[in-house]
Structure 1
Amino acid sequence: MNPTIGEYPNPSSRIVALKQKFLDYESFMCCQRARIYTEVYRETEHQPMIIRRALALCETLRQIDLFIEDGELIVGHPASRPRSAEVFPEVSFHWMKEIDEFETREYNRLKVTSEVKAMLAEIHPYWEGKNPTDKFRARRPEETKRAFAAGLLSNPHEWSTFAHVGLDYRKILTKGINGLLEDIKKQKASMRITDPDYHGRSVFYDACEIICEGVVDYAHRYGELVDSFIARTRDPVRASELQGMREVLSRVPLYPARTFHEALQSFWFVQLITQIEGNGFSISPGRFDHYMNPYLEKDLEEGRLSVERAIELLDCTWLKFAEIMRVDDKKAAEVNAGYASGQNLVIGGIDSKGKDSTTLLSYLCLIANYHVRLHQPNFTVRLHRGTPEEFLEQVVLSISSGNGMPQVLNDEIIVPSLTGRGLPLAEAREYIPVGCDEITVPRMWGRCNGGYLNFAKVLEMTLNEGVDMKYGIAFGEPPSLRMIGSWDEFHQAVLEKIDYAVERQVSEANLTDRIHEEILPLPFLSMFLDDCIETGKDVTAGGGHYNTTGLVGVGSANIGDSLFAIKRLVFDEGRLTLAELRSVLLADFEGNEPLRQYILNKIPKFGNDEDEVDQYVVGVTNRFFDAVDRYRNNRGGPFYPALYSVTAQVGLGGATAASADGRKSGLPLADGLTPMYGQDVHGPTAALKSVVKVDLVRSPNGVIVNQRLTSGILGTPKGREKMELLLRSFVDIGGFHWQFNIVDNKELLEAQVHPEQYKGLVVRVAGYSAIFIELSKKAQDSVIARNAASL
């Protein structure tokens, strides 16, 4: 029998205390990393950029202040103080003009001490003109600049390093740093000075060696810190724990892991240091229950570990994920509200041979999620037709914890979506989600988020003849409305503007690749991806085994619902002309509330299994898929389309005027491929049937579908049994992704009024979870506005 949530329903007192301490901490902006990076960059102007970045990371690992929380069993923190964020000046520093607003802004608030402000003011001038934002402003085409200003496009890598990747954690577990260094030295020895790529490979290997030295020093520093705790502790139980931690740190990450504790600690060092090297989102653990399970089972078989202790060690690791935070400007914070970090850990699913791969650790991960109930890791379960009943029961129990996790993915759809792109079947079966649910293959590079495209803005610019309704920005050349005489002509004009927007999106993504290759290589991350050490190339230079780029469409339901409403109102019923509709939208429905209510309540909407409207979402997404499939990125790989949004639907909605689906100006768009808030009125099955009409196999980079369920619905055996049947139906009818919020409006509204009483309330936002009170009011309201369905 596998361990169950029923057997282990409650976390240990250690976990309860560590979680409460985390929730009680105020979050600060820290600048130790920024100071060290500035010093190193100033001293190495003559060096190759990859060497400069390696030296800066190495010095940070040697100098940054370390600490260990009382009761911790896994060590390592991303900042110099608890639950805080370091500054990455080489990536993003234009937000200095907002420095006095960080403590009071709506989302991702950070306290900033006078000392930190003074240090940042001192180093800021050095970085002017040196980070990606400055490079984009200098090199982005004028037409694309206007598209960004109007809210047609958004690029998350203007302010972050590349990520959205699953690393090969087996390398650190089975080889350790010493083994990696041996691999690097073998490659160096195999080169000849006359090789065309000799100089490029040499500096890559030198950078890797420099960082490895820093990683070893970092672990040694933690070992010395544990020694200091041992010397002064008077609690014999804690002293014994510290001795065990010291033994672990004397072994990893320098050598291969032997025990479950060593494996967890070694894993965490890699997970952490990749996020000290860069501030990119979604460094994802991937199939954690596969590569970590052998260490767990060996310890249990040999009597070194009890199930209870294994769960506590796992719970300690689970808590660590929530510590990853970033300093974002207001625009980026709106997209990533709630300190999103996208560290997607997945369990279950089939293996490379097509067999169910559920392990003992799969069950323990479900227990850890039930115990910890925080917003990270972004926890996912892969389902398939052969998912064991016992496992599915525990998945539903874990979902009932109320933190919006785990989300579920469907192997029966996702594997064919990857083989259809040419991936070998065995590799496709090993797929992992990164970030929200962007699909990639572990260990093999794919930049999953190349930027967002606002579908609602495409329709807006068509209706307003190429002039943005919100800001009056002109771009593109749609035909005059006077020249459109039929529905088919109007519909075709909208579809052509999707092609135009994708062209701009592709250009931006390729410019992003070029800028990051030039100034933001990631040698430590590259060490844990296939082919980079073999080829001696950084991932930003195309060293990964695969080199895909994801392009993301936002607001599918809005454009589909709007198109159907326009057809009905203008071309079928003749209630008003296109020009009159444009005037209504420009005025934000002022004086036309009866028309708006007619649109909202009488015209069918996507999410209710009605073909007459669903066909327009299908048509728009197909046109988007077709457009994306035409292009290659500048690393030689394909573009993969996606339909998700993180919280970009809030920011992009804020930049979008009123739309013909009845949405008011500035309100959020629909998230992912989810029906618009409040419009899926016939329950979850009907909503899912609408979603699967979209050709989801053509969206290999990910699809997000949110479903809110009434509170308490999984509190009874009958309710959980219905949920299990619903998940089986999700697999059978061809769903791609599904996630659930199980919380009532009364609790959410109370949390808005008394946030101090709801520090631990976690909700599902849009492909990730967040602590509810740390979201902006607009994002909170969008969660509240979703219909709560019963089963």
Structure 2
Amino acid sequence: MNTSEFPSHMTPRVKKLYESLIDKALGDRSEEWFTPEMFHDVVKSKDPNEKFPLWKSVENCSVIVRRAIAIDRMLIAMTDAQNNEKTHTVDIYEGDLLLGNMPMGSNGLGKVFPRFLTDDELRAGSITNRNAASLFGHNTMNYEELLHDGLQKKIDFCSQKLNELSPLIKQEKKEVSTLRKQYENLLADPQASAEAKEEALRILRKKDGMLISKKKKFDFYWGVKLACKAVVDYAHRFADIAEREADLYPQRAEELRALSAIARRVPAKPARNFHEAMQCICFFHIALHASMNFISLGRLDQVLQPYLEKETDKAKALEIFECFILKCAGRLNLTSKYLIKQDHVDYATVLGTHPYYIDQKAGVNNFLQNIIVGGKKPDGSDATNEATYLILQAIENVNLPAPGIYVRIHKESPDRLIQKVASSVYRTKNNPSVINDDVMIPAMYNSLMQDEEDTPATRQKMQQLANDYCVDGCWEPILNGKSDWTFTMLVGMQAVESAMNQGASLKKDEALFRGAKVSPSTPLPKSFADLLKYMELHMQFFVDQAIMSLFLYYMIDENAAPSPLFSAYLEGCMQKGVDKASGGANHNLGGIVLGSVPDMVNQLSALQHWVYNKKKYTLEEVCEAIRENFGEGNTSLPDSKKLLYLNIRIDFDTNSPKFGDNNEDADNLTCKVLDMFERCVSKSSKFGKMLFQDVAGEKEWRKIAALRSLAGYSGLPLGITFNMKMKITAGLGTFEQYNWQGRGIAASANRSNGAPIAPNFSPVPGTVHSGILSTLSTLSKLQLDRFAAGTITDICLQDENASQQVVAQILREFIAKQGSMMTVAIGTTEKYQKIYEAALKALEMPEQAASKLLAQYADVNVRIGGWQTPFITLPLDHMLNYIKRPVNA
């Protein structure tokens, strides 16, 4: 079959599965969640069948071993018939070509997992917001090794390592015991010299450190072995379930027995064909997400191509992949009526050592799982293949919000791929999203070269890694199964407000005089140059805090949230015998993402024009108007103030240059803001690495250790503790947080107090009047290839003016204009307004009537942050934001 002949519609069996999912998603799913009583207590486990060679009970095992046992407990609970009456994780749906089902969970609703931390660990972790729920899966899986080798090879490797380490540990324990007795004897001997005692203590500590290191490795391999074996056992239990189903349903017995045979083979053994490859990926992906590793799917077209080449029935292969899409979307919620009953987010849902307060409703259907296709191979050649087109067609046919899909394109991408992407975007109205390799590959390469020796061999290695990049569960660029990634965010408008208001917020609070003091005080700016100078000082302060938090994340995570299952296939961990949470990955990336840049530009543009150039208003008058929200809703203001505030608002909102409208003044300001951010990140990176990572010389270590302690950590630097070096990357965007982040920001150009900021790196809705191509022209001036943490622009086309040809033209312009990342939605203000009104009505209607009303809009998906979501589930503020977005090309 030629790739152009992939069927452009779902088969009856897939359509039936799709309709069943939509019906379920429109109802109350609160009873489908696992509850604590469904799990065995891992910490207090007394199972006599479990042998622990170095400890007497599970409670005394290390955290990583307990977590691996908890993974097994979770997968056992997922195949328990009694639990299944509520959770439906055992169900084999009629016509389904893949076994296994996701348990409920999402970024916005949280996760449920067996407890594996002790009371003391939970109490101690409360100060840093770390517990078992702290896992945040901003990583990606490369399934190539798993499909090629199977899990049994990994299990056997772990067994070999355990057999090697066990006698060494026993021997060293004896040696440590002997050295400790010798040291104690020296302490008791009045004739022993101080030098002898110090030397004995030094030898004891060195030997004890070697023993601890070996024990940690032992625990790592033991945890990986237990976790991998748990997935094999899970697959085998499903094989048994399919066999029993075959006996109960003779009309489908042949198909069920075939599924059972596949589950007996994978993921334990290598996959031999496309169906086995997809079932292998399905089982492991479910296990990762069930164990709270919300991991993305990586470059699946590269992984699946060898197996698709062996497949003679390409239509069947498409059908299998469509079933996989339905598995990934199995946790979907299409109504907002029952979300409070499904709220399983607790205090420790975090990104680092500080709480990350998520916009839960916006993240209800965010499962942090993306597929990446196209782009370049590690050697730099084009990677487009038959599996690229199969995946695109499957996503287009099913048109669900999950999993997300990104297509990497570049100037040498086949025209056929551009046309296929355009066709998919036009048909689905929002899928796929695109990334420009010509921008992202240089950005990734430059970041990877940080702190590396500039040699031909290093350059070649880093170039290959950069060529093979992918994105995580949102849109942040990472390495393909070869990096651990964490990030932090900041809102740039805070720096603007601080520069205008001497280090204080402009949100009105009479108890705080000028406002909340968020940054060190600076003078009132007398010129626009002063304003930019002070803004950079405040931005540096916020960036310092953000980057130091990235390093603090790695100082404590191994003690709360290790990941033995994911670490089994994260490059570097198995070779080192070190979990990803302990710096085991070969490459560690820390990203800092700046939000509200479009709002910053719009505000600075208005200030420059009306305060400093035209001198129509004073800065004090503008700050006063902002504190009063431009007078909105305040009837007690004098008429003179109302008129002043109204004039300021009109000039700021409508009579000033805007971001993304191809205006020279606004574009120049954008460049200045990005240059400033780049300088701040560079300075903060050097400072953060000096404090937390680099091994200092003898003359400096005391000073740096004292600084590190001031920053909140008194231990050794990462370079010693984990033997790792973090590459700091910078990006521009908001994810779904533009609604939440705006709450803390006072009024500004084109915004009221607390209103959403601009989404990602996109024009403020309603401010672009020259068409989408003008926004792309703005992007061409910004040198976005310096931002390896990604720069994503969301555009929304008016439906009546859009066509496949128009989308294709935009894609080509996006590449030519050096855009970085782009999402495209196609809709109309009228359609979004109609759905908004229906969602309001549904909140007051009985369940059945509400479901019927909303069902007609279930296939309308839009981009929010880094994923697709059904429009009917958006928070109302997000809906209103989208209503303003559609523009002409």
Counterparts of 1:223 and 1:722, CA distance in 2: 49
CA contact (8 A) 1:76 1:268 kept: yes
Aligned with residue 838 of structure 2, among 727, 734, 754: 754
- The alpha-carbon distance between structure 1 residues 87 and 165, as it changes in their structure 2 partners (threshold 3 A), is closer
Aligned with residue 496 of structure 2, among 456, 459, 463: 459
Matches within 5 A, 1:594-609: 594-609=647-662
Please tell me whether residue 3 in structure 1 is matched to residue 3 in structure 2.
yes
Counterparts of 1:501 and 1:213, CA distance in 2: 45
Equivalence for 1:543: 584
The one-letter code of the counterpart of 1:340 is: N
**Higher Rg:** 2
The one-letter code of the counterpart of 1:205 is: Y
The one-letter code of the counterpart of 2:484 is: G
Equivalence for 1:101: none
Equivalence for 1:417: 443
Please tell me whether residue 382 in structure 1 is matched to residue 425 in structure 2.
no
CA contact (8 A) 2:528 2:612 kept: yes
Between 261-270 and 694-703, the greater mean CA deviation after superposition: 694-703
Equivalence for 1:256: 270
After TM superposition, the score normalised by the length of structure 1 is 0.86
Match of 1:609, SS state, is coil
Counterparts of 2:156 and 2:646, CA distance in 1: 71
Counterparts of 1:508 and 1:81, CA distance in 2: 27
Deviation readout 1:608-657 (Å, 9 max, x if unpaired): 11221122222222222222234236452122111122211110012211
Between 704-713 and 770-779, the greater mean CA deviation after superposition: 704-713
Aligned with residue 610 of structure 1, among 647, 660, 663: 663
Please tell me whether residue 247 in structure 1 is matched to residue 261 in structure 2.
yes
Between 623-632 and 36-45, the greater mean CA deviation after superposition: 36-45
Please tell me whether residue 208 in structure 1 is matched to residue 208 in structure 2.
no
CA contact (8 A) 1:168 1:528 kept: yes
Please tell me whether residue 587 in structure 1 is matched to residue 586 in structure 2.
no
Equivalence for 1:268: 282
Equivalence for 1:102: none
Counterparts of 2:754 and 2:120, CA distance in 1: 33
CA contact (8 A) 1:551 1:641 kept: yes
Please tell me whether residue 776 in structure 1 is matched to residue 875 in structure 2.
yes
CA contact (8 A) 2:266 2:279 kept: yes
- The alpha-carbon distance between structure 1 residues 2 and 731, as it changes in their structure 2 partners (threshold 3 A), is farther
CA contact (8 A) 1:83 1:323 kept: no
Match of 2:60, SS state, is coil
Deviation readout 1:258-281 (Å, 9 max, x if unpaired): 11111001011221211122254x
Deviation readout 1:421-440 (Å, 9 max, x if unpaired): 22621221111111232111
Matches within 5 A, 1:323-338: 323-324=330-331, 327-328=344-345, 331-334=357-360, 336-338=362-364
Q: Give the CA deviation at 1:694.
A: 2.2
- The alpha-carbon distance between structure 1 residues 324 and 644, as it changes in their structure 2 partners (threshold 3 A), is farther
- The alpha-carbon distance between structure 1 residues 82 and 685, as it changes in their structure 2 partners (threshold 3 A), is closer
Q: Give the CA deviation at 1:666.
A: 1.3
Aligned with residue 322 of structure 2, among 312, 315, 332: 315
Aligned with residue 359 of structure 1, among 385, 388, 395: 385
Counterparts of 1:37 and 1:323, CA distance in 2: 22
CA contact (8 A) 1:375 1:403 kept: no
The one-letter code of the counterpart of 1:230 is: A
CA RMSD of aligned residues (A): 2.7
Deviation readout 1:378-429 (Å, 9 max, x if unpaired): 1011111111122221111111123511111111111111222226212211
The one-letter code of the counterpart of 1:553 is: L
Match of 1:694, SS state, is coil
Deviation readout 1:577-615 (Å, 9 max, x if unpaired): 212111110000012233212222111101011221122
Aligned with residue 143 of structure 2, among 155, 160, 169: 169
Counterparts of 2:106 and 2:497, CA distance in 1: 45
Counterparts of 2:235 and 2:506, CA distance in 1: 55
Counterparts of 1:406 and 1:290, CA distance in 2: 17
Please tell me whether residue 178 in structure 1 is matched to residue 149 in structure 2.
no
Counterparts of 2:126 and 2:31, CA distance in 1: 22
Matches within 5 A, 1:394-413: 394-413=420-439
The one-letter code of the counterpart of 2:519 is: G
- The alpha-carbon distance between structure 1 residues 387 and 617, as it changes in their structure 2 partners (threshold 3 A), is same
The one-letter code of the counterpart of 1:458 is: A
Aligned with residue 74 of structure 1, among 92, 98, 112: 98
Instruction: Give structure 1 stretches of 5+ with no counterpart.
Output: 92-122, 139-156, 301-305
CA contact (8 A) 2:366 2:867 kept: yes
Counterparts of 2:404 and 2:77, CA distance in 1: 30
Task: State the number of aligned residues.
Answer: 722
Please tell me whether residue 682 in structure 1 is matched to residue 767 in structure 2.
no
Deviation readout 1:541-584 (Å, 9 max, x if unpaired): 00001011111111110111111111112111112221211111
Equivalence for 1:736: 820
CA contact (8 A) 1:296 1:310 kept: yes
CA contact (8 A) 2:105 2:112 kept: no
Counterparts of 2:139 and 2:654, CA distance in 1: 42
Equivalence for 1:136: 128
Deviation readout 1:234-275 (Å, 9 max, x if unpaired): 4x2x32221221111111111111111110010112212111
Q: Give the CA deviation at 1:511.
A: 2.6
- The alpha-carbon distance between structure 1 residues 132 and 244, as it changes in their structure 2 partners (threshold 3 A), is farther
Match of 2:428, SS state, is coil
Between 50-59 and 189-198, the greater mean CA deviation after superposition: 189-198
Please tell me whether residue 60 in structure 1 is matched to residue 82 in structure 2.
no
Counterparts of 1:30 and 1:480, CA distance in 2: 57
Equivalence for 2:302: 290
Counterparts of 1:132 and 1:725, CA distance in 2: 56
Overall identity of the aligned pairs, in %? 24
Equivalence for 1:642: 731
Aligned with residue 811 of structure 2, among 703, 712, 727: 727
The one-letter code of the counterpart of 1:263 is: A
Equivalence for 2:614: 573
Aligned with residue 432 of structure 1, among 465, 470, 487: 470
Match of 1:548, SS state, is strand
Please tell me whether residue 474 in structure 1 is matched to residue 481 in structure 2.
no
Instruction: Give structure 2 stretches of 5+ with no counterpart.
Output: 46-57, 81-89, 173-209, 333-342, 348-356, 450-460, 510-514, 632-641, 694-717, 719-723, 840-853
Match of 1:73, SS state, is coil
CA contact (8 A) 1:704 1:766 kept: no
Q: Give the CA deviation at 1:137.
A: 5.9
- The alpha-carbon distance between structure 1 residues 80 and 500, as it changes in their structure 2 partners (threshold 3 A), is closer
Equivalence for 1:668: 756
- The alpha-carbon distance between structure 1 residues 133 and 603, as it changes in their structure 2 partners (threshold 3 A), is farther
The one-letter code of the counterpart of 1:416 is: P
Match of 1:770, SS state, is strand
Equivalence for 2:573: 532
- The alpha-carbon distance between structure 1 residues 335 and 329, as it changes in their structure 2 partners (threshold 3 A), is farther
Counterparts of 2:543 and 2:107, CA distance in 1: 38
- The alpha-carbon distance between structure 1 residues 85 and 593, as it changes in their structure 2 partners (threshold 3 A), is closer
CA contact (8 A) 1:4 1:367 kept: no
The one-letter code of the counterpart of 2:867 is: Y
Deviation readout 1:3-27 (Å, 9 max, x if unpaired): 237x622111222221222122133
Counterparts of 1:459 and 1:425, CA distance in 2: 37
Counterparts of 1:405 and 1:764, CA distance in 2: 9
Deviation readout 1:37-59 (Å, 9 max, x if unpaired): 67113444322111111111111
Counterparts of 2:123 and 2:100, CA distance in 1: 28
CA contact (8 A) 1:397 1:720 kept: yes
Counterparts of 2:783 and 2:503, CA distance in 1: 29
CA contact (8 A) 1:36 1:56 kept: no
CA contact (8 A) 2:368 2:472 kept: yes
Equivalence for 2:201: none
The one-letter code of the counterpart of 1:453 is: L
Q: Give the CA deviation at 1:359.
A: 1.1
Match of 1:786, SS state, is coil
